[in-house]
Amino acid sequence: MTHGSRVRVPGLARVEGEGGLEIVTSGGRVTEARLDIYEPPRFFEGLLRGRAHTEPPDITARICGICPVAYQMSACAAIEDACGVTVPDSILALRRLLYCGEWIESHALHVYLLHAPDFLGYESGIHMARDHPAIVERGLRLKRAGNRLMEVIGGRSVHPVNVRVGGFYRAPGRRDLHGLAGELEWARQAALDTVSWVAGFSFPDYERDYEFVSLRDPAGYPVMGRRIVSSRGLDIGASEYDDHFTEFQVPHSTALHSVLDGNRTYLVGPLARYSLSSAHLPDVAASAARAAGLGATCANPFRSIIVRAVELVYACDEALRLIEGYEPPDPPSAGVPAAEATGYGCTEAPRGMLYHRYRITGGGAIADAKIVPPTSQNQRAIEADLRDFAQARLDLPTDRLTWECEQAVRSYDPCISCATHFLDLRVSPS
Protein backbone atom coordinates (compact mmCIF):
# COMPACT_ATOMS: atom_id res chain seq x y z
CA MET A 1 0.00 0.00 0.00
CA THR A 2 1.34 3.45 -0.90
CA HIS A 3 1.97 6.04 1.75
CA GLY A 4 -0.62 8.76 2.14
CA SER A 5 -3.69 6.92 0.99
CA ARG A 6 -7.03 5.51 2.08
CA VAL A 7 -8.64 2.15 2.35
CA ARG A 8 -12.33 2.59 2.05
CA VAL A 9 -15.08 -0.03 2.26
CA PRO A 10 -18.30 1.88 1.64
CA GLY A 11 -20.61 -0.98 2.58
CA LEU A 12 -19.50 -3.69 4.98
CA ALA A 13 -20.73 -7.16 4.07
CA ARG A 14 -21.89 -9.74 6.60
CA VAL A 15 -22.75 -7.30 9.34
CA GLU A 16 -26.27 -6.41 10.47
CA GLY A 17 -27.17 -2.93 9.21
CA GLU A 18 -25.43 -0.39 7.03
CA GLY A 19 -21.96 0.90 7.75
CA GLY A 20 -18.57 1.41 6.19
CA LEU A 21 -14.94 1.41 7.11
CA GLU A 22 -12.19 3.91 6.38
CA ILE A 23 -8.48 3.72 7.11
CA VAL A 24 -6.46 6.89 6.43
CA THR A 25 -2.66 6.80 6.25
CA SER A 26 -0.04 9.51 6.01
CA GLY A 27 3.74 9.12 5.94
CA GLY A 28 3.54 5.42 6.56
CA ARG A 29 1.37 5.80 9.63
CA VAL A 30 -2.31 5.08 10.13
CA THR A 31 -3.76 8.42 11.16
CA GLU A 32 -7.41 7.45 11.31
CA ALA A 33 -9.48 4.27 11.45
CA ARG A 34 -13.19 4.89 11.34
CA LEU A 35 -16.20 2.65 11.54
CA ASP A 36 -18.64 4.76 9.57
CA ILE A 37 -22.16 4.05 10.70
CA TYR A 38 -24.40 5.86 8.27
CA GLU A 39 -27.62 3.93 8.75
CA PRO A 40 -30.13 6.60 9.67
CA PRO A 41 -30.91 7.14 13.34
CA ARG A 42 -34.29 5.86 14.44
CA PHE A 43 -35.24 8.05 17.36
CA PHE A 44 -36.49 5.26 19.60
CA GLU A 45 -35.68 7.16 22.78
CA GLY A 46 -37.71 10.10 21.51
CA LEU A 47 -40.74 8.10 20.52
CA LEU A 48 -40.86 6.36 23.91
CA ARG A 49 -41.54 9.66 25.65
CA GLY A 50 -45.16 9.96 26.64
CA ARG A 51 -45.89 6.27 26.13
CA ALA A 52 -47.22 4.10 28.98
CA HIS A 53 -44.65 2.50 31.28
CA THR A 54 -45.89 -0.90 30.12
CA GLU A 55 -45.00 -0.29 26.47
CA PRO A 56 -41.17 -0.25 26.21
CA PRO A 57 -40.77 -4.06 25.98
CA ASP A 58 -42.93 -4.13 22.84
CA ILE A 59 -41.61 -0.90 21.33
CA THR A 60 -37.90 -1.47 21.92
CA ALA A 61 -38.10 -5.07 20.67
CA ARG A 62 -38.53 -3.50 17.22
CA ILE A 63 -35.03 -2.01 17.36
CA CYS A 64 -33.45 -5.28 16.29
CA GLY A 65 -34.73 -8.38 14.52
CA ILE A 66 -31.74 -10.41 15.72
CA CYS A 67 -31.83 -9.59 19.44
CA PRO A 68 -35.35 -8.40 20.36
CA VAL A 69 -35.31 -10.40 23.59
CA ALA A 70 -32.35 -8.39 24.88
CA TYR A 71 -34.33 -5.17 24.42
CA GLN A 72 -37.37 -6.65 26.10
CA MET A 73 -35.40 -7.99 29.06
CA SER A 74 -33.45 -4.77 29.68
CA ALA A 75 -36.66 -2.74 29.37
CA CYS A 76 -38.50 -4.98 31.85
CA ALA A 77 -35.58 -4.87 34.29
CA ALA A 78 -35.42 -1.07 34.20
CA ILE A 79 -39.17 -0.49 34.55
CA GLU A 80 -39.53 -3.02 37.35
CA ASP A 81 -36.58 -1.34 39.07
CA ALA A 82 -38.31 2.04 38.80
CA CYS A 83 -41.53 0.63 40.17
CA GLY A 84 -39.85 -1.26 43.01
CA VAL A 85 -41.03 -4.68 41.83
CA THR A 86 -38.97 -7.86 42.18
CA VAL A 87 -40.36 -10.63 40.01
CA PRO A 88 -40.41 -14.23 41.33
CA ASP A 89 -37.57 -16.63 40.50
CA SER A 90 -39.89 -18.68 38.28
CA ILE A 91 -40.34 -15.68 35.98
CA LEU A 92 -36.61 -14.94 36.01
CA ALA A 93 -35.96 -18.55 35.01
CA LEU A 94 -38.39 -18.34 32.08
CA ARG A 95 -36.79 -15.07 30.97
CA ARG A 96 -33.38 -16.73 31.10
CA LEU A 97 -34.70 -19.62 29.01
CA LEU A 98 -36.08 -17.21 26.41
CA TYR A 99 -32.72 -15.44 26.37
CA CYS A 100 -30.96 -18.79 25.74
CA GLY A 101 -33.03 -19.10 22.56
CA GLU A 102 -31.83 -15.70 21.38
CA TRP A 103 -28.17 -16.48 22.14
CA ILE A 104 -28.46 -19.76 20.21
CA GLU A 105 -30.04 -18.24 17.10
CA SER A 106 -27.81 -15.16 17.06
CA HIS A 107 -24.52 -16.96 17.72
CA ALA A 108 -25.33 -19.75 15.24
CA LEU A 109 -26.03 -17.13 12.56
CA HIS A 110 -22.79 -15.26 13.23
CA VAL A 111 -20.51 -18.27 13.64
CA TYR A 112 -21.73 -20.15 10.57
CA LEU A 113 -22.87 -17.63 8.02
CA LEU A 114 -21.16 -14.34 8.91
CA HIS A 115 -17.80 -15.18 10.51
CA ALA A 116 -16.63 -18.67 9.49
CA PRO A 117 -16.39 -17.78 5.78
CA ASP A 118 -13.56 -15.35 6.66
CA PHE A 119 -11.42 -18.12 8.10
CA LEU A 120 -12.08 -20.55 5.28
CA GLY A 121 -11.45 -18.02 2.50
CA TYR A 122 -14.98 -17.68 1.21
CA GLU A 123 -16.64 -14.50 0.06
CA SER A 124 -19.88 -15.44 1.83
CA GLY A 125 -21.80 -18.16 3.58
CA ILE A 126 -23.41 -18.98 0.23
CA HIS A 127 -20.04 -19.69 -1.33
CA MET A 128 -19.07 -21.73 1.73
CA ALA A 129 -22.32 -23.73 1.50
CA ARG A 130 -21.42 -24.96 -1.99
CA ASP A 131 -18.33 -26.74 -0.63
CA HIS A 132 -19.51 -27.48 2.91
CA PRO A 133 -23.27 -28.07 2.74
CA ALA A 134 -23.41 -30.40 5.75
CA ILE A 135 -21.65 -27.87 7.96
CA VAL A 136 -23.93 -25.02 6.89
CA GLU A 137 -26.97 -27.24 7.41
CA ARG A 138 -25.74 -27.89 10.95
CA GLY A 139 -25.54 -24.16 11.57
CA LEU A 140 -29.02 -23.58 10.17
CA ARG A 141 -30.46 -26.35 12.35
CA LEU A 142 -28.78 -24.88 15.41
CA LYS A 143 -30.25 -21.49 14.59
CA ARG A 144 -33.66 -23.10 14.14
CA ALA A 145 -33.41 -24.70 17.59
CA GLY A 146 -32.92 -21.23 19.08
CA ASN A 147 -35.73 -19.76 17.00
CA ARG A 148 -38.07 -22.54 18.12
CA LEU A 149 -37.36 -21.86 21.79
CA MET A 150 -38.16 -18.18 21.20
CA GLU A 151 -41.38 -19.06 19.38
CA VAL A 152 -42.65 -21.37 22.12
CA ILE A 153 -41.94 -18.88 24.93
CA GLY A 154 -42.19 -15.57 23.11
CA GLY A 155 -44.99 -16.34 20.67
CA ARG A 156 -42.72 -15.69 17.69
CA SER A 157 -38.97 -15.48 17.15
CA VAL A 158 -38.72 -12.04 15.58
CA HIS A 159 -40.16 -9.41 17.90
CA PRO A 160 -41.74 -11.81 20.44
CA VAL A 161 -45.18 -10.78 21.65
CA ASN A 162 -45.58 -12.76 24.89
CA VAL A 163 -43.27 -10.60 27.04
CA ARG A 164 -44.71 -7.95 29.32
CA VAL A 165 -43.48 -5.81 32.17
CA GLY A 166 -43.64 -8.09 35.22
CA GLY A 167 -43.30 -11.36 33.26
CA PHE A 168 -45.30 -12.97 30.47
CA TYR A 169 -48.84 -12.80 29.16
CA ARG A 170 -49.02 -16.60 29.18
CA ALA A 171 -46.67 -19.19 30.59
CA PRO A 172 -45.91 -22.07 28.23
CA GLY A 173 -46.96 -25.48 29.50
CA ARG A 174 -44.43 -28.03 30.72
CA ARG A 175 -45.21 -30.29 27.82
CA ASP A 176 -44.56 -27.49 25.32
CA LEU A 177 -41.07 -26.95 26.68
CA HIS A 178 -40.24 -30.60 27.29
CA GLY A 179 -41.07 -31.16 23.65
CA LEU A 180 -38.05 -29.04 22.76
CA ALA A 181 -35.57 -31.03 24.85
CA GLY A 182 -34.72 -33.59 22.18
CA GLU A 183 -33.74 -30.97 19.64
CA LEU A 184 -31.80 -29.02 22.26
CA GLU A 185 -29.85 -32.15 23.17
CA TRP A 186 -28.95 -32.46 19.50
CA ALA A 187 -28.08 -28.74 19.52
CA ARG A 188 -25.77 -29.11 22.54
CA GLN A 189 -23.82 -31.84 20.76
CA ALA A 190 -23.80 -29.77 17.55
CA ALA A 191 -22.48 -26.81 19.55
CA LEU A 192 -19.69 -28.99 20.95
CA ASP A 193 -18.87 -30.05 17.38
CA THR A 194 -18.92 -26.36 16.45
CA VAL A 195 -16.30 -25.58 19.10
CA SER A 196 -14.04 -28.31 17.72
CA TRP A 197 -14.58 -27.10 14.16
CA VAL A 198 -13.78 -23.43 14.75
CA ALA A 199 -10.86 -24.23 17.07
CA GLY A 200 -9.10 -25.63 14.01
CA PHE A 201 -9.17 -22.31 12.16
CA SER A 202 -6.02 -20.25 11.78
CA PHE A 203 -6.01 -17.06 13.87
CA PRO A 204 -3.80 -13.99 13.65
CA ASP A 205 -1.62 -13.44 16.69
CA TYR A 206 -3.44 -10.36 17.91
CA GLU A 207 -3.84 -10.11 21.67
CA ARG A 208 -5.28 -6.83 22.91
CA ASP A 209 -5.15 -5.14 26.28
CA TYR A 210 -8.89 -4.72 26.77
CA GLU A 211 -10.80 -3.50 29.75
CA PHE A 212 -13.63 -6.02 29.65
CA VAL A 213 -17.07 -5.01 30.93
CA SER A 214 -19.99 -7.33 31.56
CA LEU A 215 -22.66 -8.12 34.10
CA ARG A 216 -22.10 -10.31 37.12
CA ASP A 217 -25.01 -12.71 37.30
CA PRO A 218 -25.95 -14.41 40.56
CA ALA A 219 -27.44 -17.23 38.48
CA GLY A 220 -24.06 -18.11 36.93
CA TYR A 221 -22.59 -17.19 33.57
CA PRO A 222 -23.80 -13.64 32.88
CA VAL A 223 -27.14 -13.32 31.11
CA MET A 224 -29.01 -11.04 33.51
CA GLY A 225 -27.89 -9.39 36.72
CA ARG A 226 -27.66 -6.08 38.55
CA ARG A 227 -23.89 -5.62 39.01
CA ILE A 228 -21.65 -4.27 36.24
CA VAL A 229 -18.02 -5.36 36.60
CA SER A 230 -14.83 -4.83 34.63
CA SER A 231 -11.44 -6.47 34.39
CA ARG A 232 -9.92 -3.36 35.99
CA GLY A 233 -11.95 -3.28 39.13
CA LEU A 234 -15.22 -1.59 38.23
CA ASP A 235 -18.02 -3.03 40.35
CA ILE A 236 -21.19 -0.93 40.27
CA GLY A 237 -24.94 -1.30 40.29
CA ALA A 238 -26.93 -0.69 37.12
CA SER A 239 -28.21 2.53 38.71
CA GLU A 240 -24.63 3.89 38.71
CA TYR A 241 -24.12 3.32 34.98
CA ASP A 242 -24.51 6.99 34.05
CA ASP A 243 -21.97 8.00 36.70
CA HIS A 244 -19.28 5.96 34.97
CA PHE A 245 -20.18 5.60 31.30
CA THR A 246 -20.38 8.63 28.99
CA GLU A 247 -21.71 8.69 25.45
CA PHE A 248 -20.58 11.24 22.88
CA GLN A 249 -21.13 12.04 19.23
CA VAL A 250 -18.49 11.64 16.53
CA PRO A 251 -18.91 13.24 13.12
CA HIS A 252 -18.60 10.06 11.04
CA SER A 253 -21.21 7.94 12.81
CA THR A 254 -24.90 8.03 13.61
CA ALA A 255 -24.06 5.81 16.60
CA LEU A 256 -22.77 7.39 19.79
CA HIS A 257 -19.39 6.30 21.14
CA SER A 258 -19.00 5.46 24.82
CA VAL A 259 -16.15 5.73 27.34
CA LEU A 260 -15.70 4.52 30.90
CA ASP A 261 -14.69 6.87 33.73
CA GLY A 262 -13.62 9.79 31.62
CA ASN A 263 -11.63 8.36 28.75
CA ARG A 264 -11.23 4.60 29.07
CA THR A 265 -12.01 2.45 26.07
CA TYR A 266 -13.71 -0.81 26.96
CA LEU A 267 -15.15 -3.90 25.35
CA VAL A 268 -18.44 -5.69 25.94
CA GLY A 269 -19.64 -8.97 24.43
CA PRO A 270 -18.62 -12.62 24.38
CA LEU A 271 -14.90 -11.96 25.02
CA ALA A 272 -15.78 -9.82 28.03
CA ARG A 273 -18.32 -12.27 29.43
CA TYR A 274 -15.95 -15.18 28.98
CA SER A 275 -12.92 -13.41 30.40
CA LEU A 276 -14.80 -12.20 33.47
CA SER A 277 -16.91 -15.31 34.11
CA SER A 278 -15.38 -18.39 32.48
CA ALA A 279 -15.19 -19.91 35.96
CA HIS A 280 -19.01 -19.95 36.03
CA LEU A 281 -19.38 -22.08 32.89
CA PRO A 282 -20.80 -25.56 33.45
CA ASP A 283 -18.38 -28.45 32.97
CA VAL A 284 -19.57 -29.30 29.48
CA ALA A 285 -18.80 -25.79 28.18
CA ALA A 286 -15.66 -25.29 30.26
CA SER A 287 -14.08 -28.53 29.09
CA ALA A 288 -14.96 -27.69 25.47
CA ALA A 289 -13.25 -24.33 25.92
CA ARG A 290 -10.12 -25.94 27.35
CA ALA A 291 -10.01 -28.52 24.55
CA ALA A 292 -10.25 -25.65 22.05
CA GLY A 293 -7.16 -24.04 23.57
CA LEU A 294 -8.87 -21.23 25.46
CA GLY A 295 -7.46 -20.17 28.82
CA ALA A 296 -9.45 -18.50 31.56
CA THR A 297 -9.55 -15.30 29.46
CA CYS A 298 -9.42 -14.50 25.75
CA ALA A 299 -8.28 -11.13 24.38
CA ASN A 300 -7.87 -11.96 20.69
CA PRO A 301 -10.94 -10.65 18.85
CA PHE A 302 -10.45 -13.12 16.00
CA ARG A 303 -10.78 -16.00 18.47
CA SER A 304 -14.17 -14.65 19.52
CA ILE A 305 -15.64 -17.21 17.14
CA ILE A 306 -14.45 -19.93 19.55
CA VAL A 307 -15.93 -18.05 22.50
CA ARG A 308 -19.25 -17.69 20.69
CA ALA A 309 -19.23 -21.42 20.03
CA VAL A 310 -18.54 -22.07 23.72
CA GLU A 311 -21.45 -19.77 24.58
CA LEU A 312 -23.58 -21.81 22.18
CA VAL A 313 -22.75 -24.89 24.25
CA TYR A 314 -23.58 -22.96 27.40
CA ALA A 315 -26.91 -21.67 26.07
CA CYS A 316 -28.03 -25.12 24.93
CA ASP A 317 -26.97 -26.70 28.22
CA GLU A 318 -28.57 -23.95 30.28
CA ALA A 319 -31.79 -24.24 28.28
CA LEU A 320 -31.93 -27.96 28.98
CA ARG A 321 -31.29 -27.37 32.68
CA LEU A 322 -34.05 -24.76 32.87
CA ILE A 323 -36.51 -26.93 30.96
CA GLU A 324 -35.79 -29.86 33.27
CA GLY A 325 -36.68 -27.79 36.33
CA TYR A 326 -39.44 -25.74 34.71
CA GLU A 327 -42.49 -24.87 36.76
CA PRO A 328 -44.90 -22.56 34.93
CA PRO A 329 -45.01 -19.27 36.84
CA ASP A 330 -48.47 -18.78 38.30
CA PRO A 331 -49.54 -16.09 37.74
CA PRO A 332 -47.37 -15.60 34.64
CA SER A 333 -46.60 -12.01 35.54
CA ALA A 334 -46.27 -9.84 38.61
CA GLY A 335 -48.22 -6.62 38.90
CA VAL A 336 -46.11 -3.55 38.16
CA PRO A 337 -48.05 -0.43 39.20
CA ALA A 338 -46.46 2.78 37.98
CA ALA A 339 -44.28 4.75 40.35
CA GLU A 340 -42.78 8.19 39.89
CA ALA A 341 -39.15 7.13 39.73
CA THR A 342 -36.21 6.33 37.51
CA GLY A 343 -35.25 2.72 36.85
CA TYR A 344 -32.14 1.08 35.44
CA GLY A 345 -31.73 -2.26 33.71
CA CYS A 346 -28.86 -4.14 32.06
CA THR A 347 -28.85 -7.55 30.43
CA GLU A 348 -26.41 -9.38 28.19
CA ALA A 349 -27.48 -9.25 24.55
CA PRO A 350 -25.62 -11.75 22.35
CA ARG A 351 -23.27 -8.91 21.37
CA GLY A 352 -22.81 -7.57 24.90
CA MET A 353 -24.27 -5.51 27.69
CA LEU A 354 -27.40 -3.52 26.83
CA TYR A 355 -28.40 -0.66 29.14
CA HIS A 356 -31.88 0.87 29.51
CA ARG A 357 -32.94 3.74 31.77
CA TYR A 358 -36.49 5.08 32.12
CA ARG A 359 -37.89 7.95 34.11
CA ILE A 360 -41.56 7.38 34.80
CA THR A 361 -44.13 9.96 35.87
CA GLY A 362 -46.65 9.39 38.63
CA GLY A 363 -49.27 8.92 35.92
CA GLY A 364 -47.33 6.04 34.41
CA ALA A 365 -45.92 7.81 31.34
CA ILE A 366 -42.31 7.56 30.16
CA ALA A 367 -40.78 11.00 30.72
CA ASP A 368 -37.31 10.13 29.53
CA ALA A 369 -35.55 7.09 28.09
CA LYS A 370 -31.96 6.13 27.43
CA ILE A 371 -30.82 3.04 25.54
CA VAL A 372 -27.15 2.12 25.06
CA PRO A 373 -26.64 -0.91 22.80
CA PRO A 374 -23.47 -3.02 22.83
CA THR A 375 -22.23 -2.13 19.35
CA SER A 376 -22.32 1.54 20.26
CA GLN A 377 -20.21 0.80 23.33
CA ASN A 378 -17.71 -1.22 21.30
CA GLN A 379 -17.14 1.29 18.51
CA ARG A 380 -14.20 2.97 20.19
CA ALA A 381 -12.46 -0.35 20.86
CA ILE A 382 -13.12 -1.47 17.28
CA GLU A 383 -11.55 1.71 15.88
CA ALA A 384 -8.55 1.49 18.24
CA ASP A 385 -8.00 -2.12 17.23
CA LEU A 386 -8.31 -1.26 13.54
CA ARG A 387 -5.64 1.44 13.82
CA ASP A 388 -3.13 -0.99 15.28
CA PHE A 389 -4.21 -3.88 13.10
CA ALA A 390 -3.87 -1.87 9.88
CA GLN A 391 -0.60 -0.26 10.99
CA ALA A 392 1.08 -3.64 11.24
CA ARG A 393 -0.16 -4.58 7.76
CA LEU A 394 0.50 -1.46 5.71
CA ASP A 395 2.92 -3.33 3.48
CA LEU A 396 0.09 -5.54 2.21
CA PRO A 397 -1.53 -4.86 -1.16
CA THR A 398 -4.55 -2.61 -0.69
CA ASP A 399 -7.11 -5.28 -1.59
CA ARG A 400 -5.57 -7.70 0.92
CA LEU A 401 -5.43 -5.06 3.63
CA THR A 402 -9.04 -4.15 2.94
CA TRP A 403 -10.12 -7.78 3.22
CA GLU A 404 -8.26 -8.29 6.49
CA CYS A 405 -9.68 -5.10 8.01
CA GLU A 406 -13.19 -6.20 7.06
CA GLN A 407 -12.53 -9.50 8.77
CA ALA A 408 -11.34 -7.66 11.85
CA VAL A 409 -14.59 -5.67 12.06
CA ARG A 410 -16.72 -8.81 11.65
CA SER A 411 -14.94 -10.34 14.67
CA TYR A 412 -16.95 -8.02 16.90
CA ASP A 413 -20.29 -9.05 15.32
CA PRO A 414 -21.36 -5.41 15.10
CA CYS A 415 -25.10 -4.78 14.90
CA ILE A 416 -25.24 -1.47 13.17
CA SER A 417 -29.02 -1.39 13.13
CA CYS A 418 -28.98 -1.47 16.92
CA ALA A 419 -26.28 1.14 17.25
CA THR A 420 -27.82 3.89 15.14
CA HIS A 421 -28.82 6.56 17.49
CA PHE A 422 -30.47 9.88 17.97
CA LEU A 423 -28.31 12.69 16.63
CA ASP A 424 -28.01 15.42 19.21
CA LEU A 425 -27.70 18.49 16.99
CA ARG A 426 -26.52 21.65 18.71
CA VAL A 427 -25.83 25.02 17.14
CA SER A 428 -23.32 27.10 19.03
CA PRO A 429 -22.56 30.76 18.38
CA SER A 430 -19.12 31.24 16.86
Partner 1 sequence: MRLVIGIGNPDRGDDAVGLAVARRVREAAPADVTVTELDGDQLKLLDAWDGAGEVYVVDAVCSGGRPGATYRFDASGPLGTRFAHRGTHTFSLAEVIELARALRRLPTRLAGYGIEAATFTLGAGLSPEAEAAAGAVAGQILDELTGGGPRCAWEQSA
Sites of contact with partner 1 (CB under 8 A):
11, 16, 42, 47, 62, 65-66, 109, 113, 124-127, 129-130, 133, 136-137, 140, 143-144, 147, 156-159
Least separation in angstroms between CB 339 and partner 1: 27
Nearer to partner 1 (CB atom), residue 62 or residue 290: 62
- Cα-to-chain-centroid distance, residue 98: 15
Least separation in angstroms between CB 415 and partner 1: 10
| Cβ neighbours, 10 Å, residue 218 | 11
DSSP 8-state class, residue 53: T
Nearer to partner 1 (CB atom), residue 143 or residue 188: 143
Least separation in angstroms between CB 65 and partner 1: 5
3-class DSSP state for residue 248? Answer: strand
Q: Which of 224, 244, 222 is nearest to 233 (CA)?
A: 244
Nearer to partner 1 (CB atom), residue 48 or residue 94: 48
Nearer to partner 1 (CB atom), residue 159 or residue 164: 159
Residues in the chain: 430
- Cα-to-chain-centroid distance, residue 285: 19
Nearer to partner 1 (CB atom), residue 15 or residue 276: 15
Least separation in angstroms between CB 278 and partner 1: 29
Least separation in angstroms between CB 14 and partner 1: 9
Distances in whole angstroms, Cα of residue 151 to Cα of each of 16, 189, 358, 393: 22, 22, 28, 45
Nearer to partner 1 (CB atom), residue 117 or residue 222: 117
Least separation in angstroms between CB 150 and partner 1: 10
Q: Which of 380, 348, 414 is nearest to 213 (CA)?
A: 348
Identify the sign of the CA torsion 104, 158, 112, 119: negative
Report d(CA 86, CA 293) in Å as an integer: 40
Report d(CA 336, CA 79) in Å as an integer: 8
